[in-house]
Amino acid sequence: MADAAGAENTADTAGATGAAEGVLVVGEVSADTRAAVIGVVEALEKAFNAKDPVALGEQYGVRASWTNAAGRRLDGRAAITEFAAPAMRGLLADSFARYQVVKLLAITPDVVAVNVAQTPTDRGGRPVEGAHGAALYVIARQDDGWKIAAGQNTALEPGATA
């Protein structure tokens, strides 16, 4: 948690896997906001691992902008959902991951930048060899709740960490 001056602090909070993790918090991020934005990341992880493109798309704002690990930009919740469906049935069908929130950066009370480390796992959630990922999500309070407004995913070489 940040002090009154907005200094960097590490707070123990639930990561996307539900375990207590040290999360670097920069600026003022209330406990309610922290829970909400981590909840978005948890729901995104669950949807990805369940191969549910609709639930995945619901984590994005209607006008979201997302760039995937291959560098393809998708604009809008509908486009993200439409792109995810065949990818989850094909290329990503056997890909599973654990998402760990590592940093929260307060931008405004209603906007938080979230750094996430992605670890490849098997279907049961056990870590496996493979490329890790580093994602940056800008999560904002919107009319329909906290949603990803913008983000980018970066594939890391095996052995590299976010």
Q: What is the pLDDT of residue 130?
A: 86
Q: What is the pLDDT of residue 13?
A: 37
At 61 the three-state DSSP class reads strand
Per-residue pLDDT of the chain (162 residues; tens, 9 = 90+): 333 334 444 443 333 433 336 999 999 999 999 999 999 999 999 999 999 999 999 999 999 999 999 999 999 999 999 999 999 999 999 999 999 999 999 999 999 999 999 999 999 999 999 889 999 999 999 999 999 999 999 999 766 666
Residues ≥6 apart with Cβ < 8 Å to 17: 45, 98, 99, 100, 125
Q: What is the pLDDT of residue 21?
A: 61
At 159 the three-state DSSP class reads coil
Tell me the domain boundaries of the chain: 9-156
**H or E stretch at 100:** strand 96-108
Q: What is the pLDDT of residue 17?
A: 37
Residue 79 main-chain phi, psi, to 5 deg = -65, -40
Q: What is the pLDDT of residue 15?
A: 36
Q: What is the pLDDT of residue 132?
A: 93
Q: What is the pLDDT of residue 95?
A: 94
CATH architecture classification, 9-156: Roll (3.10)
Q: What is the pLDDT of residue 131?
A: 85
Burial class (CB in 10 A: 0-12, 13-18, 19+), 117: buried
Whole-prediction pTM value?
0.86
